[in-house]
Amino acid sequence: MLGYRSSFSVELDPQLGLDREKAVDALLGEGFAWMRSQKRLKSVEDLEPLHEQRFPGGDRAIYTRSRTGAGVDYAKLIYFDAPRGDEQWVTSLLVGFDFTDDRAKPTVAIEIDSPPDPKNEGKPHWTARPKLVQRILEAYSCSEHGLVMGAKPTYLRGGEGVNALIEGMTDSRRRSLVIICAEDGTVDPTYWQKIMTELTAQTIGQASVYVLDKTSAEEFNASVSNGHQISPYSPRTFRPPIDPTDPQDGLRHRVLSAQRLIQSTAPYLSRMYGRLCREHANTQTIGKFLRRLDVVTARELDRATHPGSNAVELPANPVAPGTATILSQTSVIGEQAKVTSIEKRNHVRDELQGSVTETVKDEQLVNLLNENAELRSERDRLQAAAALLRDSLQRANSSIQRLEHTIEDNIVNYNEMVQEMESRHKEELESQQFEWLIKDEEARNSSDRVRTLTYQLDEARRLLAENGLDVSGSWGAPERRYVQELEQWEEIQVFGKEKFPNLIFMCDWKKMMYIAERDKSGTWLSQTWQSLAMLDDYCEFRRTEKGKKFFGGLREYLKDGYGEAWAISADRYRANESDIVKGSKKYAPERTFSVPKEVDPSGKATMYSHIVIQTKGTVSPRIYFRDCVQQLGKIVIGYIGRHPRNTMTN
């Protein structure tokens, strides 16, 4: 069973022997050095490629080292610990480097197969931090899609490196966990460094660990949503990838409180973090580049350990072709027998020719010469037949190799298809789970508000009764101005101005119809209607006497309950985008939409305020708008459609 998996990149460094030509050999050498130091093996030098070596204690090892025709340098080492009863531990080291890519870095994948845990059915034995992984991480600069992968925590001081940290955390290719802890100066940094090193000792190779000082923590918190912020001395584990603009995304990322940290022992917490990393990393796949090399090396090592091959072995010494003749239908075995007979006859002929004297009759000499000519002709014919057979065997072997490569590619493509389907279904499930969390929160908030209002109403009636006033009558519910009457998305375009007089629709309706085609259940339509109703009512509210005295924004309007029953959850409102998005030449232009000339003479304006229709998923519909209440008394709707691209876009 898979007990441990890690993959990362290694920075080229000629001073450490990691140049373009020697990188793979150097990293493979770390595997050999690990065998000498950790496994106490002195005969590692005796290892030869594709030859399984057995050691005195029962351990075994085999490796391959080669380069593809496309210029990819690779190596794989597999080490088998001596079996202990039914238990078998296997360590594999895979290294690859693409010479054709000037920006490429050597990549490493390390896996440990461990026996099943008898005390925990369906789970592998606990695998402690591998010494091989620790050895590589301590010797070289390693990373995983821009995030430091080190043997100890990485410290950020004075705000330096925070933007790169957030950018790496948002990378959709990232597979490893990120553990971040903040400092505020109240604890001695040296003491806290010791604590964090102990806590994360079992996470190496599977998590990037960062410790941020007060300045760096403040900058981090200012760049992410309130759902992603970190607190002093409370390590937080971020799963890949994060959406720094979505507070609801913060629900996925666990926090270890300072109180629990104090109440628990260091070994317990270290083991807890290790198990968390194992469970996460073992469900992730290595990158496509390494997956292909894994298939190639598996085929090579399988051939080495199982000598039977599909290819036909060619003769060691090629025969020079003679005079070309048509190959007869005689079997190859028969032809070989003839060659043996001819050789014997040539030997006899040579002996006879050596003993010829002047007394031999001319007739005998003529007969021998004729026979010699016939034998030479036969030899030439058989040599030509052998040449044709050799050519046929070469073509057959080429066909076999092409077929093997085709099978190899099919295996890789099939595995990638399966993984893509699994990933897509997992994403859809997570999307639904997030929606349920938000709707559950909205339901709880509504329930709390109903209970509060009911209590206030009962108290008001009690006070009226105590003062002798008539309370027999009841107050009816306020008129619902925004009852959803529309059943089709198209009706928003046709009747939107009539239903929502305080909204100016400047959006591209084709963008809206994109999500309409994918809204099979009508859930997105209902949520869009509710959101538009809220924005329209907000404009009405700002015209009232109470609204004129209101100095907050839309978030305060929603949080404080001014929107009454048709208000949406405040968590669905996003006042801004991240600094990364706003500063990007790729993403920022996608937030520029049409506005009236009164708003901007150019007829265009950037909009960062938006409402989330669905929190997660490949579509994740959004409504982008511009608050022009102070200017026009209305709100401009610039966009209704799928989530514009950001750092999370694959």
Assign 3-class secondary structure to 89-130: CEEEEEEEEECCCCCCCCEEEEEEECCECCCCCCCECCCCCC
Structure tokens at 67: 């380069």
Give the list of residues 6+ apart from residue 420 with CB closer than 8 angstroms, or none: none
Residue 443: band (very low, low, confident or very high) from pLDDT cuts 50, 70, 90: low
Give the model's pLDDT for residue 486.
Answer: 57
Give the model's pLDDT for residue 351.
Answer: 53
Residue 586 has a CB neighbour count (10 Å cut-off) of 11
Give the list of residues 6+ apart from residue 629 with CB closer than 8 angstroms, or none: 538, 539, 542, 635
What's the mean per-residue pLDDT of the chain? 82
In this prediction, what percent of the chain has a pLDDT beyond 70? 80
Crossing angle of helices 490-499 and 509-516, rounded to 10° = 120
In whole angstroms, how far apart are CA 588 and each of 166, 607, 617?
18, 9, 21
In the chain, the N- to C-terminal Cα span, in Å, equals: 31
What pTM value is reported for the model? Answer: 0.59
Residue 264: band (very low, low, confident or very high) from pLDDT cuts 50, 70, 90: confident
Give the model's pLDDT for residue 195.
Answer: 92
Q: What's the CA dihedral at 493, 497, 502, 506 to 10 degrees? A: 50
Residue 462: band (very low, low, confident or very high) from pLDDT cuts 50, 70, 90: confident
Q: Does the structure show a pLDDT above 80 at 402?
A: no
Mean pLDDT across 57-66: 92
Give the model's pLDDT for residue 595.
Answer: 94
Tell me the pairing of strands 2-10 and 142-144: antiparallel
Mean pLDDT across 28-42: 89
Order of strands, sheet of 503-505, starting from the edge strand that comes earlier in the sequence: 503-505, 634-641, 622-628, 610-612, 573-574
Could you tell me which of 160, 154, 152 has the C-alpha nearest to residue 215? 160
- Any idea what DSSP says for residue 327? P
Q: Does the structure show a pLDDT above 70 at 337?
A: no
Q: Is 578 helix (H, G, I), strand (E, B) or coil?
A: coil
Residue 487: band (very low, low, confident or very high) from pLDDT cuts 50, 70, 90: low
Identify the H or E element spanning 262.
helix 258-263
Residue 325: band (very low, low, confident or very high) from pLDDT cuts 50, 70, 90: very low
Q: Is 254 helix (H, G, I), strand (E, B) or coil?
A: strand
> Of 312-326, 408-422, 525-539, which one has max mean pLDDT?
525-539
Residue 364: band (very low, low, confident or very high) from pLDDT cuts 50, 70, 90: confident
Give the list of residues 6+ apart from residue 161 with CB closer than 8 angstroms, or none: 216
433: left (phi over 0), alpha (psi -120 to 50) or beta: alpha
Contact 52, 292 (CB under 8 A): no
Q: Which amino acid is at 6?
A: S
> Of 82-96, 292-306, 557-571, which one has max mean pLDDT?
82-96
Give the model's pLDDT for residue 320.
Answer: 35
Which tens digit of pLDDT belongs to each residue from 560-603? 777 654 678 887 888 888 877 888 888 889 999 999 999 999 99
Q: Does the structure show a pLDDT above 90 at 75?
A: yes
Residue 163: band (very low, low, confident or very high) from pLDDT cuts 50, 70, 90: very high
Residue 56: band (very low, low, confident or very high) from pLDDT cuts 50, 70, 90: confident
Q: Which amino acid is at 119?
A: K
Give the list of residues 6+ apart from residue 170 with CB closer than 8 angstroms, or none: 241, 242, 243, 244, 580, 646, 647, 648
Mean pLDDT across 52-57: 88
Q: Does the structure show a pLDDT above 70 at 440?
A: no
Tell me the pairing of strands 90-98 and 72-80: antiparallel
Q: Is 321 helix (H, G, I), strand (E, B) or coil?
A: coil
Q: Is 638 helix (H, G, I), strand (E, B) or coil?
A: strand
**Lowest mean pLDDT across 216-225, 332-341, 437-446:** 332-341
In whole angstroms, how far apart are CA 468 and each of 458, 473, 476?
15, 14, 22
In whole angstroms, how far apart are CA 425 and each of 172, 349, 429, 521, 643?
16, 81, 6, 18, 19
162 burial via Cβ count (<10 Å: 0-12, 13-18, 19+): buried
Give the model's pLDDT for residue 646.
Answer: 78
The upper half-sphere exposure of residue 288, i.e. CA atoms within 13 Å in the direction of its Cβ, equals 8
Integer Cα distance of 209 and 236 in angstroms: 10
Mean pLDDT across 615-625: 84
Q: Is 9 helix (H, G, I), strand (E, B) or coil?
A: strand
